[in-house]
């Protein structure tokens, strides 16, 4: 019960790593409050967890919506102990694709902007909404989802990598700005993880992912959730400004 009586907010909690984190936190005694744009799936997760879980329909790109969510949580529970900025999307594509000296395809500007809006601005929106309350209450924990591709790079993910590298940068600066208030800020960088997003990938691509991972398999959402659990708990009380890789030893190459 490492999170007993803690009020924990989790964005993107309807599926994948967010869902696993919500389940793990609930088992550890937390009051789990998850949000997502997928209302049906999100409510189903909250209902399965326990009476100590709540769901809110929130788009993290909507600044007013995020503030309203946080304000409502504070009005009901009086505090926010942990924020997990997990919500994120993919819109992969090469920067440019050339053939015989001619440009035939490139990353769509709208896809770049959308990924930045969700993965980077969304983290900013949620953290800025929560931080003043954590300061007033005398402390808290902020955990941000980044990725190993932010560290090693990966083909076809200019937009995604830009956001995840930005999250690492914000994690570093927020740990400095908020440390004086006993607020710890860390990030988790998963490797290839067996979430719903991989269901549509060809088997040969999945096998290639496994081959590039020294442990020889994909990560499981619960394994990433356990990293969040450790960083959220008092066991990590002297850890801040760090990026924890949970990737099976993977180092991406060209």
Query: Residue 238 to residues 169, 179, 186, 217, 231: CA-CA distances in angstroms?
Result: 20, 10, 11, 31, 10
Q: Phi, psi (5° rounding) for residue 48? A: -75, -30
Would you say 187 and 171 are in contact if contact means Cβ atoms under 8 Å apart? yes
Angle between the N-to-C axes of helices 122-137 and 158-178, in degrees from 0 to 180, rounded to the nearest 10: 10
Would you say 165 and 177 are in contact if contact means Cβ atoms under 8 Å apart? no
Element (H, E) at 158: helix 158-178
- Which of these, 18, 182, 142, 19, lies nearest to 87 by C-alpha position? 18
Residues constituting the chain: 254
Q: Which of 56, 160, 181, 228 is catalytic?
A: 160
Would you say 161 and 176 are in contact if contact means Cβ atoms under 8 Å apart? no
84 backbone φψ class: left, alpha, beta (φ>0; ψ -120 to 50): beta
Question: Cα-atom radius of gyration of the chain, to the nearest Å?
Answer: 18
Could you confirm whether 56 is annotated as catalytic? no
- Please list the active-site residues: 160
């Amino acid at each position: 019960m490492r999170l007993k009586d803690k009020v924990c907010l989790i964005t993107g909690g309807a599926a994948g790593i967010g869902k696993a984190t919500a389940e793990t936190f609930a088992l550890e005694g937390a009051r789990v409050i998850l949000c997502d744009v997928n209302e049906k799936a999100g409510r189903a997760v909250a209902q399965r967890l326990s009476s100590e879980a709540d769901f809110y329909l929130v788009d993290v790109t909507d600044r007013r919506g995020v503030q309203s969510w946080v304000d409502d949580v504070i009005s009901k529970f009086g505090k926010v102990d942990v924020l997990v900025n997990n919500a994120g999307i993919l819109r992969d594509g090469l920067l440019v694709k050339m053939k015989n000296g001619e440009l035939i395809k490139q990353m769509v500007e709208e896809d770049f902007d959308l990924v930045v809006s969700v993965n980077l601005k969304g983290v900013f929106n949620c953290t800025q909404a929560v931080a003043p309350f954590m300061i007033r209450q005398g402390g808290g924990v902020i955990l941000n989802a980044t990725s190993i591709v932010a560290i090693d790079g990966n083909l076809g993910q200019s937009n995604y990598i830009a956001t995840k590298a930005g999250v690492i940068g914000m994690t570093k600066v927020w740990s400095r700005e908020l440390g004086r208030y006993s607020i710890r800020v860390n990030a988790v960088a998963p490797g290839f993880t067996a979430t719903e997003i991989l269901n549509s990938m060809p088997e040969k691509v999945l096998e290639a992912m496994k081959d590039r991972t020294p442990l020889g398999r994909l990560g499981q959402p619960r394994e990433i959730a356990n990293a969040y659990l450790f960083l959220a708990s008092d066991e990590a009380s002297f850890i801040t400004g760090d990026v924890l890789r949970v990737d099976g030893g993977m180092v991406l190459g060209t």
